[in-house]
């Protein structure tokens, strides 16, 4: 049996050649789930692209597979990244699969427990930095130059190129481009890649139009939405706790060209959207992933998107990545003695 991941399914859209090793963990091909209850409430034909179904539980696998394949092709001695968590989990997994050593720099105390467990169990060298993501990235870039390691953050063009595949999958499945795409923004790589994916598909005659790209940040870490630097980012959505987005300029261009915009939502709105998705739609996504839905709940009625539009919300990471935040807001189980009477009473 031959595993079908991004490199196998979209090889003709990617910069690969006969010398590129076809690495795969079966990434991509994630479910496009109609959100009927939320869509009806918002007056939209609303879908979730559930990126939590990727092999390491986030969208990062789409770009990591290509970045690692190209690093192998170039004879890299190892990988390095800074990460708010998901990039490190993905890098560690693909490094393990490819037999490459991997070093990851994480902001101390601000990485969800599932992501940290992934980086460790895949055998990465994990370094906890007493600082934030932006500081960790500076260190990772310097280390890569000193040690000749391949950087697999979204400064790596292959990461972004692989991440274009989320756009290709939407068009292939819907039979057209959506009218708008909403997604959370941290380093602003994914929104840039998504837009470039639609542009590439249109050029290839496979897509008719480019959706409005709507990028959503957490209010405490919103340099692009507020148009000013954020030296001390803070949010419950630790995945997007980033104050200096490395792809900010490119993303601003992409958003403007697409007729979209950047928005900010509060932590309460993010957690509220997470609970709505879980309780009303059966879809469990990590907090950062829910920023897009939170923005629709706040702005859809204010003319953000015309009624009846087809909208895809990219749910970038699996809810199981951050069980602590989810459990803290979801109440505790009932606890009883092991007796039928106690059970009847507890449930009445
Ligand atoms: C779930 O893992 O930056 O705007 O180091 O994990 O492309 O950065 C993660 C980012 C959205 C933002 N949703 O994407 C990292 C990291 C989730 C994320 C984003 C991230 P970009």
φ and ψ at 35, to 5 degrees? Answer: -105, 85
Digit-coded pLDDT (tens) for 28-85: 999 999 999 999 999 999 999 999 999 999 999 999 999 999 999 999 999 999 999 9
pLDDT of residue 1: 67
- Is the pLDDT at 314 greater than 90? The verdict is yes
Average pLDDT over residues 173-185: 98
Cα separation, 307 vs 303, whole angstroms: 8
By the 10 Å C-beta count (0-12 exposed, 13-18 middle, 19+ buried), 53 is classed as: middle
Smallest Cα–Cα separation from 288: which of 193, 230, 218? 218
| 330-to-113, 135, 278, 285, 323 alpha-carbon distances in Å | 17, 33, 10, 14, 10
Measured from the Cα of 81, ligand 1's closest atom is 5
- Is the pLDDT at 105 greater than 80? The verdict is yes
When pLDDT is cut at 50, 70 and 90, the band that residue 325 belongs to is very high
Measured from the Cα of 193, ligand 1's closest atom is 7
- Is the pLDDT at 321 greater than 70? The verdict is yes
Cα separation, 166 vs 171, whole angstroms: 9
From 107, 182, 184, the mutation candidate for ligand 1 (largest count of ligand atoms within 8 A of CB) is: 184
Cβ atoms 158, 124 nearer than 8 A: no
| 301-to-42, 115, 268, 296, 306 alpha-carbon distances in Å | 7, 35, 19, 8, 9
φ and ψ at 331, to 5 degrees? Answer: 85, 170
- Is the pLDDT at 324 greater than 90? The verdict is yes
Cα separation, 284 vs 125, whole angstroms: 29
Average pLDDT over residues 96-105: 98
Cβ atoms 289, 315 nearer than 8 A: yes
Average pLDDT over residues 220-225: 98
CA of 240 from ligand 1 middle (Å) equals 6
Average pLDDT over residues 15-21: 97
| 328-to-52, 72, 236, 331, 332 alpha-carbon distances in Å | 20, 42, 12, 7, 8
CA of 20 from ligand 1 middle (Å) equals 26
Partnered with residue 312 across adjacent β-strands are 47, 181
- Is the pLDDT at 228 greater than 80? The verdict is yes
pLDDT of residue 331: 85
When pLDDT is cut at 50, 70 and 90, the band that residue 109 belongs to is very high
CA of 187 from ligand 1 middle (Å) equals 7
CA of 242 from ligand 1 middle (Å) equals 9
pLDDT of residue 3: 83
- Is the pLDDT at 260 greater than 80? The verdict is yes
Question: Which residues form the pocket of ligand 1, taking CB atoms under 6 Å from any ligand atom?
Answer: 58, 83-87, 154, 184-190, 239-240, 286, 288-289, 316-317
Cα separation, 53 vs 62, whole angstroms: 12
Instruction: Supply the pTM of this predicted model.
Output: 0.97
Measured from the Cα of 90, ligand 1's closest atom is 2
Atom 18 of ligand 1: nearest residue by CA position: 239
Cβ atoms 170, 195 nearer than 8 A: no
Mean pLDDT of all residues belonging to the chain: 97
pLDDT of residue 301: 86
Is residue 87 helix, strand or coil?
helix
CA of 126 from ligand 1 middle (Å) equals 18
- Is the pLDDT at 117 greater than 90? The verdict is yes
Average pLDDT over residues 275-288: 98
**Strand pairing class (32-34; 45-50):** antiparallel
């Amino acid at each position: 049996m031959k595993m079908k991941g991004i490199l196998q399914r979209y090889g003709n859209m990617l910069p690969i050649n006969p010398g590129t090793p076809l690495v795969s963990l079966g990434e991509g091909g994630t479910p496009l789930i109609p959100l009927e209850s939320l869509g009806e409430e918002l007056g939209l034909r609303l879908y979730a692209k559930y990126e939590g179904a990727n092999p390491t539980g986030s969208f990062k696998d789409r770009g990591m597979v290509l970045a690692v394949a190209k690093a192998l092709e170039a004879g890299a001695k190892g990988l390095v990244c800074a990460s708010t968590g998901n990039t490190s989990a993905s890098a560690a997994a693909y490094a393990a699969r490819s037999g490459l050593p991997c070093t990851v720099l994480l902001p101390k105390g601000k990485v969800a427990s599932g992501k940290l467990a992934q980086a460790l169990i895949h055998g990465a060298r994990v370094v906890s930095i007493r600082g934030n993501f932006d500081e960790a990235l500076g260190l990772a870039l310097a280390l890569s130059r000193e040690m000749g390691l391949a950087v697999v953050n979204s400064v790596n063009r292959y990461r972004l190129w692989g991440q274009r595949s989320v756009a290709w999958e939407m068009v292939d499945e819907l039979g057209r481009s959506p009218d708008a795409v909403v997604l959370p923004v941290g380093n602003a790589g994914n929104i840039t890649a998504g837009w470039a994916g639609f542009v590439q598909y249109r050029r290839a005659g496979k897509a008719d139009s480019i959706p409005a790209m709507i990028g959503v940040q957490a209010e405490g870490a919103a340099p692009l939405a507020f148009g000013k630097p954020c030296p001390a980012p803070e949010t419950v959505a630790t995945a997007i706790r980033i104050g200096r987005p490395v792809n900010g300029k490119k993303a601003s261009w992409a958003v403007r060209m697409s007729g979209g915009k950047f928005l900010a939502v509060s932590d309460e709105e993010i957690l509220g959207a997470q609970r709505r998705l879980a309780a009303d739609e059966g879809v469990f996504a990590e907090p950062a992933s829910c920023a897009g839905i939170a923005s629709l709940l706040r702005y859809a009625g204010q003319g953000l998107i015309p009624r009846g539009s087809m909208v895809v919300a990219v749910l970038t990471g699996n809810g199981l990545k951050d069980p602590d935040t989810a459990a803290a807001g979801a109440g505790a189980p009932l606890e009883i003695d092991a007796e039928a009477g106690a059970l009847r009473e507890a449930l009445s």
